[in-house]
Amino acid sequence: MYRTTPPVIRLSDYQPPEFLIDHVQLRFELDAQQTLVEAELSLRRNPAATRGDGDLRLDGEQLELEAIRLNERALTPAEYQIEDAHLRVRRVPDRCRLWTRVRLNPSANTALEGLYVSGDMLCTQCEAEGFRRITYFLDRPDVMATYRVTLIADPARYPVLLSNGNPAGDEGRLDDGRLCVHWDDPFPKPSYLFAVVAGDLRAVEDRFETASGRPIPLRIYVEPGNEDKCEHAMRSLIAAMRWDEQRYGREYDLEVFNIVAVSHFNMGAMENKGLNVFNAKYILARPESATDTDFAGIEGVVAHEYFHNWTGNRITCRDWFQLSLKEGFTVYRDQEFSADQGSRGVKRIEDVRLLRARQFPEDSGPMAHPVRPDSYIEINNFYTATVYEKGAELVRMQAHLLGPERFRQATDLYFERFDGQAVTTDDFVACMETAGGIDLTQFKRWYSQAGTPQLDCADRFDPATGTYRLEVRQHTPATPGQTEKQPLHIPLALGLLDAEGRDLPLQLQGETTPPAPGTRLLELRESVETFVFTGLAEQPVPSLLRGFSAPVQIHYPYTDAQLSFLMAHDSDGFNRWDAAQTLAQRLLLAMVEAPGTPVPAPFLDAFARALADEAADPALIAEVLTLPAESYLGDQMSVVDVDGIHRARQTLAAAIGSRLRAPLLAAYERTRSADAFDLSHASMGRRALGNLCLGYLVRAGDGEALALAQRQFDAQQNMTDVIAALRMLVETATEAGEQALTAFYQRWSSEPLVIDKWFALQAQSHRVDTLARVERLLAHPDFSLTNPNRVRALIGAFAGGNPVRFHAADGTGYRFLTDRILELDPLNPQIASRLLYPMTRWRRYDPGRQQLQRDQLERILEVEGLSNDVYEVVSKSLG
Query: With respect to ligand B3K, which residue has the nearer C-beta, 267 or 797?
Result: 267
- Measured in whole angstroms, the distance separating CA 774 from the mean position of its chain's CA atoms is 26
Window 457 to 486, contacts with ligand B3K (CB under 6 A): none
Interaction residues for Zn ion, span 398-427 (CB under 5 A):
none
Q: Taking CB under 6 A as the criterion, which residues in 205-264 touch ligand B3K?
A: none
Cβ-count burial of 200 within 10 angstroms (0-12 exposed, 13-18 middle, 19+ buried)?
middle
Instruction: Single out the residue of 843, 853, 860, 776 nearest to residue 813, CA to CA.
Output: 853
Best CA proximity match to 697, nearest among 669, 733, 657, 663 = 657
Distance CA 603, CA 630 (A): 19
Q: What is the DSSP string of 619-658?
A: HHHHHHTSPPPHHHHHHTSSS--HHHHHHHHHHHHHHHHH
Nearest distance from C-beta of residue 331 to ligand B3K, angstroms: 8
Total of residues contacting ligand B3K (CB under 6 A)? 12
Closest to ligand B3K by CB, 796 vs 813, is: 796
Could you tell me which stretch among 304-312, 442-450, 694-702, 857-865 binds ligand B3K (CB under 6 A)?
304-312
Minimum CB separation of residue 305 from ligand B3K in Å reads: 5
Q: Are 154 and 179 in contact (CB under 8 A)?
A: yes
DSSP string, 241-297: HHHHHHHH-----SS-EEEEEES--SSSEE--TTEEEEEGGGT---TTTS-HHHHHH
**Which of 202-210, 273-281, 323-331, 360-368 is the region at the interface with Zn ion (rule: CB under 5 A)?**
323-331
Binding mask 309-348 for ligand B3K (x = CB under 6 A): ------------------x---------------------
SS3 state of residue 100: strand
- Cα 741 to Cα 877: distance, rounded to the nearest angstrom: 38
Query: Is 300 in contact with 293 (CB distance < 8 Å)?
Result: no
CA distance 593 to 582: 16
Is the separation of the CB atoms in 851 and 863 below 8 Å? no
Binding span for ligand B3K by CB under 6 A among 97-105, 265-273, 352-360, 772-780: 265-273
Residue (330 or 384) nearer to Zn ion, CB: 330
Q: Determine whether 378 is an active site residue.
A: no
What single letter denotes the amino acid at residue 55?
Answer: D
Residue 327 or residue 617: which is nearer to ligand B3K going by CB?
A: 327
With binding defined as CB under 6 A, does residue 383 bind ligand B3K? yes
607 binds, among ligand B3K, Zn ion, none (CB under 5 to 8 A by kind): none
Residues 34-63 as x/- pattern, contact with ligand B3K by CB under 6 A: ------------------------------
Q: Applying CB under 6 A, does 494 fall inside the site for ligand B3K?
A: no
Pick out residues in 542-571 that bind Zn ion (CB under 5 A).
none
Those residues whose C-beta lies under 8 Å from the C-beta of residue 359, and which sit 6 or more positions away, are 384, 385, 386, 389, 390, 452, 551
| Nearest to 579, CA basis, from 591, 589, 564 | 564
| Least CB distance to Zn ion at residue 304 (A) | 5
User: According to the binding rule CB under 6 A, does residue 128 interact with ligand B3K?
Assistant: yes
Among 148, 232, 304, 396, binds ligand B3K (CB under 6 A): 304
Query: Among 18, 31, 244, 271, which residue interacts with ligand B3K (rule: CB under 6 A)?
Result: 271
37 binds, among Zn ion, ligand B3K, none (CB under 5 to 8 A by kind): none
Nearest 5°: phi and psi at 469? -105, 130
Min CB(122)–ligand B3K separation in Å = 19
**862: three-class secondary structure by DSSP:** coil
Among 18, 31, 139, 305, binds ligand B3K (CB under 6 A): 305
CB of 207 to ligand B3K, least distance (A): 24
Which one, 266 or 762, has the nearer CB to ligand B3K? 266
Residue number, 128 or 440, with CB nearest to ligand B3K: 128
Q: Taking CB under 6 A as the rule, does residue 430 contact ligand B3K?
A: no
Check binding of 713 to ligand B3K (CB under 6 A).
no
Calpha distance 65→51 (Å, rounded): 28
Q: Which of 24, 39, 267, 402 binds ligand B3K (CB under 6 A)?
A: 267
Residue 383 binds which one of ligand B3K, Zn ion, none, with CB within 5 to 8 A depending on kind?
Answer: ligand B3K
Which CB atom, from 329 or from 842, has the smaller least distance to ligand B3K? Answer: 329
Q: How far is the CB of 837 from Zn ion (least distance, A)?
A: 19
Of all residues in the shown chain, the one whose CB is closest to ligand B3K is 127
CA distances to 633, 635, 647, 649, 838 from 641, in Å: 9, 10, 10, 12, 15
Applying CB under 6 A, does 635 fall inside the site for ligand B3K? no
From Zn ion, ligand B3K, none, interface partner of 128 (C-beta below 5 to 8 A by class): ligand B3K
How, if at all, do strands 275-279 and 257-262 pair? parallel
Q: Are β-strands 35-45 and 95-104 bridged in parallel, bridged antiparallel, or unpaired?
A: antiparallel
Query: With respect to Zn ion, which residue has the nearer C-beta, 261 or 566?
Result: 261
Kindly report the length of the chain. 879
Helices (H) and strands (E) in the chain, counts: 31, 34
| H or E stretch covering 115 | strand 114-118
Nearer to ligand B3K, 41 or 832 (CB): 832
CB of 61 to ligand B3K, least distance (A): 15
Contact 79, 48 (CB under 8 A): no
Choose the one of Zn ion, ligand B3K, none that binds residue 121, judging by a C-beta under 5 to 8 angstroms depending on kind.
none
- φ, ψ of residue 120 to 5 degrees: the values are -95, 5
- Min separation Cβ 684 and ligand B3K, Å: 24
Q: Which is nearer to Zn ion, 111 or 270 (CB)?
A: 270
Of the pair 104, 331, the CB lying nearest ligand B3K is at: 331
Query: Is residue 127 close enough to count as binding ligand B3K by CB under 6 A?
Result: yes
Question: Is residue 380 a contact residue for ligand B3K (CB under 6 A)?
Answer: yes
- Contact between residue 374 and residue 567 where contact means Cβ atoms under 8 Å apart: no
Q: Kindly report the backbone phi and psi dihedral angles of residue 498, in degrees, each rounded to the nearest multiple of 5, phi listed first.
A: -85, 180
User: Footprint of Zn ion on residues 325-354 (CB under 5 A)?
Assistant: 327, 330
Nearest distance in Å: CB 384, ligand B3K:
11
CA dist., res. 718 & res. 377, Å (int): 45
Active-site residue identified among 18, 129, 305, 327: 305
Which residues are part of the catalytic machinery?
Answer: 305
Give the interface with ligand B3K as residue ranges (CB under 6 A): 127-128, 267, 269-271, 304-305, 308, 327, 380, 383
Please give the residue ranges that form the binding site for Zn ion (CB under 5 A).
327, 330
